[in-house]
Structure 1
Amino acid sequence: MSFEETLRRQITLNTRDVLSSPALHALVAQECRELRDQVIARGQAPKAYRTYVDGKRNGREEDVRLDGGTVIYQFSILSQAAYWALSECQKRSPVHSGNYRSSWVLMVNEAVWQGLDAIPQDATIWIVNVTPYSRKIETGGMRIRVPPGIVEAVRLAVMRRFPGLKAKRLYLPMSGARDHRGNPTPYILRQAGISSGFSWDKKEKSWRRKHAAYVSPRMDRQAGEQLLYPTLVLTQ
């Protein structure tokens, strides 16, 4: 065996021994986790993430190959966007009794949700106000101290701030939550909806009447029908 071949074999054996060292793997894993936690602590990434080690989901950092392997943390902007959008809806809400502002609900896959950091990345998020008059406030059917269209305004803001998300405003039936009076959703209309005729003038920043009030002929606005709630829908 030539000197070059002997040297190459020795280097290969030594490298293999080093790369298989449990202590070195533990050191690399610790460094990966520390870098991840630093990014989260600085507010540059949300607390929700998935770990991929050499392409394997939920792998252990200690198992990464040290000769070209990868540890990838895939952060979920869905949790971050949901928290921001919920907070923004509350900030934009009119305040009189405080009932409307406190009635925003976060739902994950149509169920009321509490833990923002644990939102699955493939979930469908609903942010909705469960007061019986939420539709009136959104459409301008009720004169309030702030412009109508709160859900739509937040939807546009989310799209600018989180371009990787899909954001829609939909009018949806609701269940599984309770309004500020403790009554379950959905609210059942007691009489036909009224089109007030009022409209918010963006230029003048004031309310004006576009037409006289009239009873809505829409089928979903008749007595006995359930209220369709204006809902911000977020998906990643």
Structure 2
Amino acid sequence: MSWAARLQKPMRVAINRNMTSVAAHKIVGDRIRKERDDLIQSGAASAQYVRRVDGKLGLPEEAAKFNGGSVTYLFNTLGEATVWALEELRKRSPVHSGAFRKSWAILVNGKGWTDAPGKVPMGSEVRIVNTMPYARKIEVGGQRISVPPGIVEGVRRPLMRRFKGIRAQRLFKPVDKGRDARGDPVPYILKQAGIASGISWDKKEKQWTQKHAAYVSRRADRQGGEQMLYPMLVLTER
């Protein structure tokens, strides 16, 4: 398992020479915990973390050695990245009916995740996917919408700049089962061969253009009777 974020901060604490060892260690432990909690409350660190004391798991902060000891918190950046990505994907979504924006779903290690996004366990594979049947068209620019296409790709790039310990990929994969925001079953089965629309988004002019005439796709995964491949943002720790 790789850890998403690491905090190691030198600390100076004044200790009364008349204190017992237990009391002195408690003061140090309390100070370290306060520093940790301040970071969490400020939003700079996740509330989920793993603690190592002098390199060992499971020990309390008080167990750190006075000379050369260390307390290291490994924060759950994967959970933070999932929260941020989900918010950004929703912000960038078209909102004609609201169904598309509501249909973003989280899969953790291949299973639907219904808990808070920030509680995604460290070391997991996270997939964020939109389950609407036209999600692929929106991602690749196959139909005109009120926002630029490439929503998943548009979030992937800034996410990797923001969260250095996270690997983000845009993949097109099948989704096993579920329901979209309208209650329709997932996966969506293509009723006929897909159409290459020829529509393209001009980034410079910020408008839709027609690059070529529409034609029936010959791709094997775009034929009638096949499951739609859904665009998804896949997050893992480096």
Please tell me the residue identity of whatever aligns with 1:29: G
* CA shift in 2, pair 1:46/1:209, >3 Å: same
- Cα displacement (A) at 1:183: 3.0
Aligned length, in residue pairs: 220
- Within 2, Cα distance between the matches of 1:128 and 1:32? 39
Listed as ranges, the gaps of 5+ residues in structure 1 are 1-14
Q: Which string of whole-angstrom CA distances, capped at 9 and with x for unpartnered residues, describes residues 56-103 of structure 1?
A: 123222322223221111112211111111100100111100000111
**Do the aligned residues in 2 keep the contact of 1:189 with 1:226 (CA within 8 Å)?**
yes
Runs of 4 or more off by more than 3 Å in structure 1?
Answer: none
Larger-Rg structure: 1
Please tell me the residue identity of whatever aligns with 2:87: S
Task: Map 1:179-190 onto structure 2 (within 5 A).
Answer: 179-190=180-191
- Within 2, Cα distance between the matches of 1:108 and 1:184? 20
Please tell me the residue identity of whatever aligns with 2:192: Q
- Within 2, Cα distance between the matches of 1:64 and 1:117? 29
Q: Which structure carries more helix by proportion?
A: 1
- Corresponding residue of 1:79: 79
Higher mean C-alpha displacement, 205-214 vs 105-114: 105-114
Q: Provide TM-score, normalisation by structure 1.
A: 0.87
- Corresponding residue of 1:201: 202
**Do the aligned residues in 1 keep the contact of 2:131 with 2:179 (CA within 8 Å)?**
yes
- Corresponding residue of 1:66: 66
**Do the aligned residues in 2 keep the contact of 1:112 with 1:176 (CA within 8 Å)?**
no
- Corresponding residue of 2:34: 34
Q: Percent of pairs identical after alignment?
A: 54
**Do the aligned residues in 1 keep the contact of 2:174 with 2:187 (CA within 8 Å)?**
yes
- Corresponding residue of 1:147: 148
Across the aligned residues of Structure 1 and Structure 2, the Cα RMSD in angstroms comes to 1.7
Could you say what secondary structure the match of 1:169 adopts? Answer: strand
Higher mean C-alpha displacement, 123-132 vs 54-63: 54-63
**Do the aligned residues in 1 keep the contact of 2:190 with 2:228 (CA within 8 Å)?**
yes
Task: Map 1:115-154 onto structure 2 (within 5 A).
Answer: 115-154=116-155
Could you say what secondary structure the match of 1:208 adopts? Answer: strand
Task: Map 1:1-236 onto structure 2 (within 5 A).
Answer: 21-113=21-113, 114-236=115-237
Please tell me the residue identity of whatever aligns with 1:152: E
Q: Which string of whole-angstrom CA distances, capped at 9 and with x for unpartnered residues, describes residues 122-144 of structure 1?
A: 11111111111100100111110
- Within 2, Cα distance between the matches of 1:110 and 1:27? 44
- Within 2, Cα distance between the matches of 1:58 and 1:215? 60
* CA shift in 2, pair 1:135/1:61, >3 Å: same
Could you say what secondary structure the match of 2:184 adopts? Answer: coil
**Do the aligned residues in 2 keep the contact of 1:111 with 1:176 (CA within 8 Å)?**
no
Please tell me the residue identity of whatever aligns with 2:90: Q
- Cα displacement (A) at 1:176: 4.3
